[in-house]
Amino acid sequence: MAKINFGGTVEDVVTREEFPMEKAREVLKSETIAIIGYGVQGPGQALNLRDNGFNVIIGQRKNSKTWDKAVADGWVPGQTLFEIEEAAEKGTIIQFLLSDAGQITLWPTIQKYLSPGKALYFSHGFGITFNEQTGIIPPKDVDVILVAPKGSGTSLRRLFLAGKGLNSSFAIYQDATGRAKDRVVALGIGVGSGYLFETDFKKEVYSDLTGERGTLMGAIQGIFAAQYEILRKNGHSPSEAFNETVEELTQSLMPLVAENGMDWMYANCSTTAQRGALDWWKKFKEATLPVFDELYNSVKDGKESQRSIDSNSQSDYRVKLEAELKELRESEMWQAGAAVRQLRPENK
C-alpha cells in the first residue's frame, strides 16, 4: 500500500507499483473467474482480465443478444462461454455483473454454486447493502468482495487499450478464506484499474448512487438544460447556446481540469472569466447544497435503491428507459449538439 496525502488526509492506496500484474497473476493462478453478466461492466472487465492473462469464463443466457456479443468478442461456447449455471459451477470467483435488479432475480440460482472457499464479487455495494430489499445474503463460508471501477465499463476497456486505467474502489464484506484481500486487490489490478482505494460496501453504494444522480449524470444535465433554456429564452441561437453550455466545456475546459485542476483551467481563461467564475461558483454551491443533501438522504433511506429496483425489475424496463433517453436525445439542446458534433473538423 502507498500512503498518499489527499488534501490533508493520508490514505492507503494500491498502485500498480505495489501490486504488479505478475503478482496479481500469481495470486489468481489457480482461480477460474466466472463473469456473470455481459452488459457494460462485464465486457470491460472480462476482456481486460483475458488480455492480462487470467483464466476467465463468461456465463450468459443462450440465445440472447449478450450471448452473441460475447461470441463476437471471441468467447468460445463450451470453452470460455457457458450458460449462467454452468459458468457459476465452474467459477471459483463469481463476478456478479448482472444489472442490480437482475442480480435479485438470479440470486437464488447463483447462490446454489457458492460452495465453501469460493468468492462472490460485485462491482457495486447495492445488492449487499440493501439486502432487505434485494434478498442477497451470501453464505458465511465464501469471500464477498467488491471492485467498483469509477467509470463506465466502456471507458474501462478503452482506457486499458490506450495503456491507461480507471481508478476503482475495493471492499471486503466477508473474508472466509483469509485470502479475500489478496483476491480483491489482484482482481482490481487485473480488470485494469488505475489505482485502488479502499471503501466498504455501504460507502461505495451511498457515494455511487449520489454521484450518478448528482454531478456525474443527473445534476450536470440539469444545469446544462437550465443555462441552455435561459440563453434561448433571451434570443441566443441554438449554436451559441449549445456551444456556451456544453461544447466548450467538453472540448476545451474539462480536459484542462482533468489535466491540472480547476484553478489551472481558470488561469487559462480570460481574467474577465476568472473574476466572474470566482464570484458566482459559491452562489451555485449554495443553491444546490440543499438538493445534494436531499439526494444523499434519499439514498441513505433506501428510497433510491427501492426506486431503482421497482423500475428496473419490470419486464419493459429497457423500453421505458430508452423512451426517456430518446426524449433527451430529441430535445432541442441535444439535437443542436448532434449538429455541432458533426461540424467538428475531425468529423467533417
Ligand X SMILES: CC(=O)[C@](C)(O)C(=O)O
Site membership for ligand NAI, residue 123 (CB under 6 A):
yes
Site membership for ligand X, residue 248 (CB under 6 A):
no
- CA-nearest of 11, 3, 13, 6 to 197 is 13
Nearer CB in complex with ligand NAI: 99/207? 99
What's the min distance (Å) between Cβ of 208 and ligand X?
Answer: 5
Site membership for Mg ion, residue 304 (CB under 5 A):
no
Judged by CB under 6 A, which of 21, 40, 225, 291 binds ligand NAI?
40
54, 188 contact by CB (below 8 A): no
- CA-nearest of 104, 146, 150, 154 to 305 is 104
Site membership for ligand NAI, residue 99 (CB under 6 A):
yes
Is 212 annotated to bind ligand? yes
Judged by CB under 5 A, which of 31, 100, 143, 208 binds Mg ion?
208
Phi/psi for 228 (5° steps) reads: -60, -45
Rounded Cα distance between 136 and 316, Å, is: 23
Residue type, 242: F
Residues noted as catalytic:
124
Site membership for ligand X, residue 151 (CB under 6 A):
yes
Exposed / middle / buried, residue 260 (Cβ in 10 Å: 0-12, 13-18, 19+)? exposed
- 155: how many CB neighbours lie within 10 A of its CB? 15
Name the pairing type of β-strands 33-36 and 93-96.
parallel
Nearer CB in complex with ligand NAI: 99/243? 99
Which residues in the 125-154 window bind ligand NAI by CB under 6 A?
A: 126, 148-149, 152-153
Region near ligand NAI per CB under 6 A, out of 96-104, 109-117, 225-233, 267-275: 96-104
Rounded Cα distance between 104 and 108, Å, is: 8
Q: Residue number with the shortest CB distance to Mg ion?
A: 208
13, 197 contact by CB (below 8 A): yes
Is 270 annotated to bind ligand? yes
Rounded Cα distance between 234 and 228, Å, is: 10
What is the distance of C-alpha 225 from the center of its chain? Answer: 24
Kind and range of the H or E run holding 209: helix 201-213
Site membership for ligand X, residue 204 (CB under 6 A):
no
The three cell numbers of residue 54 are 487470467
Site membership for Mg ion, residue 204 (CB under 5 A):
no
Site membership for ligand X, residue 208 (CB under 6 A):
yes
Using CB under 6 A as the binding criterion, the count of chain residues that bind ligand X stands at 6
Which residues in the 215-234 window bind ligand X by CB under 6 A?
A: 216
Site membership for ligand X, residue 152 (CB under 6 A):
yes
| Residue count (the chain) | 348
Is 100 annotated to bind ligand? no
Judged by CB under 6 A, which of 14, 28, 97, 299 binds ligand NAI?
97
Nearer CB in complex with ligand X: 268/298? 298
Nearer CB in complex with Mg ion: 46/205? 205
91, 34 contact by CB (below 8 A): yes
- 184: how many CB neighbours lie within 10 A of its CB? 27
Q: Which does 15 bind (CB under 5 to 8 A by kind): Mg ion, ligand X, ligand NAI, none?
A: none
Task: Count Cβ neighbours within 10 Å for each residue of 206-228 and write b for 16 or more, e otherwise.
Answer: bbbbbeebbeeeebeeeebeeeb
Q: Residue number with the shortest CB distance to ligand X?
A: 212
Which residues in the 295-334 window bind ligand NAI by CB under 6 A?
A: none
Which residues contact ligand NAI by CB under 6 A? 37-42, 66, 97-102, 105-106, 123-124, 126, 148-149, 152-153
Which residues contact Mg ion by CB under 5 A? 208, 212
Which residues contact ligand X by CB under 6 A? 150-152, 208, 212, 216
